[in-house]
Every structure is written in structure tokens, then in C-alpha cells.
Amino acid sequence: MVTDYFDDLELGLCLRVNALSRNRALKGFFSAVSRLGDYPAWVLFGLATLYMLDGSQAAFLAQAVATAVLGIGVYKLLKHRLVRERPFVTHGEIVCGTAPLDRYSFPSGHTLHAVSFTVLYSSHVPEMMFVIAPFAALIAASRVILGLHYPSDVVAGGALGATVASTVLAVAA
């Protein structure tokens, strides 16, 4: 299977990055970042963006809902069709740093949503980029550090997230 090839190819990097989760403080930090990336941070950033808008709040809200719905749809479609096991399941040497939300690894839904909302919110309030982009990068890193995703899951999630947000913005234009 194709994913088996990539699983083995990425194992060395996964092991090196996952070793960070053996540090209790780092594990706690990245677990918290990961949980905030479930949805709470994006709601708060969305409210901040909404507050900072000069106008077009209704358009922004519609785009945020469309981004969330499209992102979830793409995520669920791919997760349940591609069924790539998580690194800690396939490779016993990888430590699971926090409980996963679902079974499969590809693509990273956390990264997909982090990138999609970063693109969307920043397109409306560019100043938000300086806060949201580093947070999105931490979310992406947390997924590999915690043993929940391979780097390619995160890269694919980011690409899909950028595509989702760009599509919503293009349709709304």
C-alpha cells in the first residue's frame, strides 16, 4: 500500500520530533495547543476578527461558516476513504501524547482548519496574521510532536486548508 511506503519513509523524522513529547513541559504545552486547535481558539479569533471589521460582518460570518462546513466535509471524506493509521498505532516506538479525536491520520484536520481560518481571518483583517499564523504553525507542529500525525498529514492538511479558504473567498468575491 502507498501509505505504508510513506509511513516507513517518515518514521525517522516522526521519532525525532516525537521525542520532544517526552519532556513533560513540552508535552503539556503542545497538548494544550492541540486542544485549543479543536475549535475554541478559532471561535475566539473569529470573534476578534468580527470585532475588528469596519463592515461586512454578515459576509465574514457566511464565509466563516462556509469555510468550517467545507473543511469538515473535505476532512471527513478523505479520512474515511484513505484510512491511514496514526503513527503511534503503526509504530510502537512513537509515543501518543494526547488522545486522538478519531482513528485515522490523513489528512490532519487540525492543520486543515488552522490554515483555512488563518487564511480567511487574515484576508479580512491582515493584522490578525501576526497572531494567528504562529498559532497555526504550533498546531501543525503539535500534531507530529504528539505522535498523532506524520509530517505529510500535516502538509496535506495545510494545503487543503489553504485551498478551502481560497475557494470560499473566490466564490464570495
Structural domain total, the chain: 1
Q: What is the domain extent for residue 38?
A: 2-172
Confidence (pLDDT) at 4: 63
List all residues 6 or more positions away from 94 whose beta carbon is below 8 Å from its beta carbon.
14, 15, 18, 87, 88, 147
d(CA 41, CA 91): 31
In angstroms, how far apart are the furthest CA atoms of the chain? Answer: 52
* Range with top average pLDDT, 88-97, 99-108, 160-169: 160-169
pTM above 0.85, yes or no: yes
pLDDT digits 0-9 by tens, 131-170: 999 999 999 999 999 999 999 999 999 999 999 999 999 9
Spatial CB neighbours of 38, under 8 Å, sequence gap ≥ 6: 101, 110
pLDDT digits (tens, 9 = 90+) for 27-60: 999 999 999 988 889 889 988 888 888 777 888 8
Q: What is the pLDDT of residue 152?
A: 93
